[in-house]
């Protein structure tokens, strides 16, 4: 019985660490452009992951695209911010 309690006490911090570790290892990122807009972030302040450019589609929704894909998206009516 004591061994089971000890195992549980050792497992709980491990579970908590697993939940925290990704934020520590990779840093905080606010989420997708859609998530950021839903949280009330103005479109001009939405951030993209490294190597991506913020663009707006025909409906006015933000999106992130790789730099080498922007010309193609612009041919479909997207615009760069």
How does pLDDT run across 36-81, given as a tens digit for each residue?
A: 999 999 999 999 988 899 999 999 999 999 999 999 999 999 999 8
Tell me the CA distances in angstroms from 70 to 50, 66, 73, one per residue in order: 15, 7, 5
Domain boundaries, the chain: 2-80
* pTM attached to this predicted model: 0.62
Q: Is it the case that residue 3 has pLDDT exceeding 80?
A: no
Per-residue pLDDT tens digits for 8-45: 676 766 666 666 555 555 566 788 999 999 999 999 99
**33 CB neighbour count, 10 Å cutoff:** 21
């Amino acid at each position: 019985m004591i061994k089971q309690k000890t195992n549980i006490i050792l497992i709980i911090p491990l579970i908590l660490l697993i939940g925290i570790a990704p934020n520590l290892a990779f840093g905080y990122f606010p989420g997708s452009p859609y998530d950021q807009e839903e949280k009330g972030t103005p479109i001009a302040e939405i951030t993209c992951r490294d190597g991506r450019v913020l663009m707006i589609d025909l409906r006015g929704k933000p999106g992130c695209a790789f730099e080498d894909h922007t010309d193609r998206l612009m041919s479909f009516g997207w615009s760069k911010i």
